[in-house]
Each structure stands twice: as C-alpha cells, then as structure tokens.
Amino acid sequence: MKTRLTKSYLAGRAALLASLTLLAASSLAATAPSSLEARRGDRIEGVWDSQVTIVDCQSGTVLAGFRGLGMFIRGGSLTQTNNMPPALSSPSFGRWARTEAGYYTATFEFFRFLPDGTFSGVQKVTRDIQLEAGGDSFTSDVSFETYDTTGNLIATGCGTETATRVID
C-alpha cells in the first residue's frame, strides 16, 4: 500500500511539474520577440538606404539632398557611398559606436576631387543616430567638416538623414 501511495504521489508531482513547465514555456513564447525582431533589436549592423538633406546650420533652409547607401559592420567599421558623381569623391570609410540603448554615433571620411580630377581635400562626416524601436529605420543629425589638401578646415555644415534597413 505504501508503494502504491508513493508511486501515486510521484506521478501527481510529475504531472504538476510538467503542467507548470508547459505554462511557463507558453508564457515566454507569447512575450518573446519574433526571431527577426530579436536579430535586429537594438542593432545597427546591416545595410541602410538613406536620404540625406543638407541644411543651413543657422536657418534650417534646405540646401541640397542626396541618397546614400551605408554598411554598418559588426565590430564598429563603416563604409558609405552615395549617388553623387563618383569622379568627385571616393568611397567613405569610418567607425560607429553604440552610445546608449537605441543611439549610435558614426564618423567617416572620404576624399574630394575637383571636376578635372585634381585632389581637393577630405570631408569628415559625423552622425548622431537614433534607431527606431523595431530596428527597421533610423534618423540622424549630420555635421560635416571640409578640409583642403593641407588639412586646413575650410567649411562646415549640417544636415539630417532618414534611413531604412535594406539587409540585416
């Protein structure tokens, strides 16, 4: 009789444990992000298609706009290009870093050329990026510095950017 009670008690405990495990697993599955969200989350790595608007830093008046394509590489490397005439600038290379949840900073440089192909200097671009909660888009404040061939600062500027993720 004691053996039957012990077996019955153990079977009841096992059923209770299995039920609790199933309940906990279903609760976690209901609240867990999808695999795509988990992969993206607060991660900027990937390829982004962006629209950049250059503005007057004082008045905010729109001066120019162009499309960009950038790749944020795991570990903090960055490469950028845009739809400007390729004879006027080189590809851009730089670094990015996460500053806090959902926020990043990125800096890159590229060579500038005159229409005749003569090297005219370097441009350094800095972006303060805010990643949207789902990880599919971001906005950024852009600032840039233009240097001549001897490294003297000759111009500064401002802009904004909106970007959409193309590839994770």
pLDDT in tens, 60-107: 999 999 999 999 999 999 999 999 888 899 999 999 999 999 999 999
- Is residue 138 assigned to a domain? yes
Q: Give the amino acid at 128.
A: D
Phi, then psi, of 2 in degrees rounded to 5: -65, -35
**Are both 7 and 73 inside the same structural domain?**
no
Q: How many domains does the chain have?
A: 2
The token duo for 123 is 């441009």
**Are both 25 and 65 inside the same structural domain?**
no
Residue-wise pLDDT for 97-147, tens only, equals 999 999 999 999 999 999 999 999 999 999 999 999 999 999 999 999 999
**Are both 108 and 65 inside the same structural domain?**
yes
Q: How far is CA 129 from the centre of its chain?
A: 7
Q: Does pTM surpass 0.85?
A: no
Q: What angle do CA 139, 122, 153 make, to 5 degrees?
A: 95
**Are both 51 and 77 inside the same structural domain?**
yes
Residue 55 is part of which domain span? 43-167
**Are both 8 and 84 inside the same structural domain?**
no
**Are both 16 and 81 inside the same structural domain?**
no
**Are both 25 and 63 inside the same structural domain?**
no
**Are both 150 and 124 inside the same structural domain?**
yes
- Is residue 76 assigned to a domain? yes
Phi, then psi, of 105 in degrees rounded to 5: -125, 145
**Are both 24 and 97 inside the same structural domain?**
no
